[in-house]
Amino acid sequence: MNKLFTKIIEISEKPLDVSTIVGGKYLIIDVLGKGSYGFTYLVKDQANQIFVLKQLRKYKQLDHAGIAAFNREANILKDLDHPAFPTFYEQFVEEQKQFIVMEYLNGKTYEELIFQDKQSFSESEAFKELYSILLLVKYIHEKQFVHRDLRIPNILKNNQDYYIIDFGLTRHVLDQNNTEKIDHLEKKLFREVAFKSDFYALGHFLLFLLYSSYVPVSKKKMSWEEELYITGNARRVLRKMLQIDDPYYDMEHLLKDVKKCI
Ligand SMILES: Nc1ncnc2c1ncn2[C@@H]1O[C@H](COP(=O)(O)OP(=O)(O)OP(=O)(O)O)[C@@H](O)[C@H]1O
């Protein structure tokens, strides 16, 4: 498809307005996100029950891969039966627009906790958070999925409850559609369809938590290893998660090492 044509559609498409009714019963009350794949809304039904509604963007709908990715996310949500992940409710097409309705998980993202609420974590606290999240990722991996987008805006917390959202990039480890061309790029992005990709992403998640309590001592730009005052154990775990050293290939080994840092 003509790239310019696609770009024009991408830029010109706006999310649906607040107060619009979709699917005959979902009233849009807020726009939560405008990602490259779709728009995310907070909606409520006639019984005032809150849901998250995702809409595939028009230009993604024009190519087969966009629709396939949207359907894949719906199918993965159906497969994940756990309170830490959004329950799938329904999928429908209205006025040629594709929608998925899922459970609203009530929590704050780590992006909000760190940058808006200014929450800070000590080394031990950061590893404790990581341990709780790893137990959820263990469930995802046991289902043979790699999430591939475990970033601070996609991990939520509410008191002692942890949630993971946004399964748009998730793949089954045996997904046959991982062409070699994509694999090459994904490798560069540390987004290979392999469990170590999730460990890599969580290594960065951990760095955000550790930096939350960091007070700069110099204006010189330095690496995390030079800047952060952390224990040898913590450094070793991080270097393996970030694939600087021989990476972790299995969850049990990582969990054991993380536990030692709490
Ligand atoms: N099931 C859910 N429960 C609660 N909040 C959600 C849920 N899904 C999404 N959100 C909120 O909406 C925001 C945007 O959602 P999402 O990550 O799906 O799309 P995006 O950020 O627009 O797209 P992308 O991350 O793919 O670029 C999230 O950061 C989160 O705050």
- Which residue has tokens 């950061």? 126
Q: For residue 187, how far is its CA from the centre of ligand 1 (angstroms)?
A: 25
> What's the pLDDT score for residue 180?
46
CATH topology of domain 108-260: Transferase(Phosphotransferase); domain 1 (1.10.510)
Considering just the CA atoms, what is the radius of gyration of the chain in Å?
Answer: 20
What is the ipTM for the molecules in this complex?
0.93
pLDDT in tens, 184-241: 666 666 778 889 999 999 999 999 999 998 887 777 788 899 889 899 999 999 999 9
Given the structure tokens 């929590």, which residue do they identify? 107
Question: Domain 8-103 maps to which CATH number in 3.40.30.10, 1.10.20.140, 3.30.200.20, 3.40.50.1980?
Answer: 3.30.200.20
Q: Which residues are near ligand 1 (CB < 6 Å)?
A: 32-37, 40, 52, 86, 102-105, 109, 153-154, 165-166, 168
Task: Label residues 3-15 b or e (16+ Cβ within 10 Å = b).
Answer: eeeeeebeeeeeb
Structure-token pair, residue 173: 């480890």
pTM value is 0.90
Residue 145 forms beta bridges with which residues? 172
Question: Over the stretch 117-152, which tens digit does the pLDDT of each residue have?
Answer: 999 999 999 999 999 999 999 999 999 999 999 999
Rounded to whole angstroms, how far apart are CA atoms 219 and 46? 55
Q: How long a stretch of residues is the chain? A: 262
Coil vs helix vs strand at 134:
helix
pLDDT tier, 8 (very low <50, low <70, confident <90, very high otherwise): confident
Q: Ligand 1: distance of its center to the CA of 32 in Å? A: 6
Q: Is 14 annotated as a binding residue?
A: no
Eight-state DSSP code of residue 193: S
Q: Where are the domains of the chain?
A: 8-103, 108-260
What atom in ligand 1 is closest to the CA of residue 36? Answer: 27
Spatial distance between the Cα atoms of 152 and 110, rounded to a whole number of angstroms: 5
> Which residue has a Cα nearest atom 25 of ligand 1?
35
Q: What is the pLDDT of residues 9-67, one digit of tens each?
A: 667 789 999 999 999 999 999 999 988 788 999 999 999 999 999 999 887 777 777 88
Specify the residue with its C-alpha closest to ligand 1, atom 23.
Answer: 35
Whether the CB-CB separation of 222 and 129 falls below 8 Å is answered with no
Q: How far is the CA of 39 from the centre of ligand 1 (A)?
A: 9
pLDDT tens-digit profile of 64-110?
778 888 899 999 999 999 999 999 999 999 998 999 999 999 999 99
Nearest to 23 by CA among 37, 43, 3: 43
